[in-house]
Structure 1
């Protein structure tokens, strides 16, 4: 493939990623609206579910948010019954807290994402295992590139 064709294909991939980001943002906005949460609350709930239990400061770092902002988010999530704050028995400082997701609430989230989940299963059924590994590898590397760019902006 010539450099012009490669450049055009690269531009098409980047445009598609932007469109996907916009669409996923709209989907997440609808999910958070159904749950009476702010979009940032849903983002933090996902981080807690995937990486938790986490200290509020570790969660703030992962989310790229100020610790005071995180306090308000955790207050809303706790009030809604989505998370619990527990004393962290592992920590040297006995006052330190770990935040964990309340497992029983996952069914509500799964139900709201069920349409997208089913669509993705059907989409993936049309690809070979090798193709899916290639796509997953590309998305992982794109996520890593985004993580690096975000860190550069945060410290720059």
Structure 2
């Protein structure tokens, strides 16, 4: 086994810096895309974020949405009011809850086509991009992105607790 040379160490640091920079740029671009989508749907950025959480993980309780979004529960009420008024979500009694006042928030499917249409360009570009990678490459990329997401969740939790 060859020891790591100074050249190899410099190369790894440079590549790691490029990856971190690319992730920051990706975050910025996705934020801009989401802002454009939200503007077309007449949703605030945070409303679109919460709608995405509800769509992907719901039905969820308002407190669970607030926790996942890193928001104060009182803030969640206004967001859910706007989403419900816009016909994006419904609040339903949670039949499994001990507290009869408990509700779950569920995304309304009849509005999802509007969202998918606005993301169609990005989804098409992603399909084209991913077609260039082998299954092994895609497994590596998937693992990297899942681990990066977990690292981001940990960092966010640490900051929230500080």
Given the two structures, how large is their TM-score scaled by the length of structure 2?
0.95
SS for the counterpart of 1:2 is helix
Secondary structure of 1:98's counterpart equals: strand
Task: Return structure 1 stretches of 4+ with deviation > 6 angstroms.
Answer: none
Query: Any gaps of 5 or more consecutive residues in structure 2?
Result: 1-6
Correspondent of 2:32 among 21, 26, 34: 26
Secondary structure at the aligned position of 1:54 is classed as: coil
Structure 2 distance, partners of 1:53, 1:40, is: 18
- Indicate the residue corresponding to 1:81 in structure 2: 87
The answer to whether the aligner puts 1:66 opposite 2:72 as a matched pair is yes
> Could you give the per-residue CA deviations for residues 42-62 of structure 1, whole angstroms, max 9, x where no partner exists?
000000011100110111001
Aligned pair partner of 2:116 in 87, 95, 110: 110
Where in structure 1 are there 5+ consecutive unaligned residues? none
Corresponding residue for 1:132? Answer: 138
Q: Aligned-pair distance for 1:143?
A: 0.4
Alignment partner of 1:57 out of 55, 59, 63: 63
**CA deviation after TM superposition for structure 1 residue 154, in Å:** 0.4
Q: Which one of the candidate residues 147, 154, 159 is aligned to 1:153?
A: 159
Flag the structure with larger Rg: 2
Could you tell me how far apart the structure 2 residues matched to 1:110 and 1:51 are? 17
Equivalence for 1:101: 107
Aligned Cα RMSD in Å? 0.7
Distance 2:108 2:16 in 1: 42
* TM-score, normalised relative to structure 1: 0.99
* Distance in 2 separating the partners of 1:109 and 1:120: 17
Distance 1:28 1:21 in 2: 10
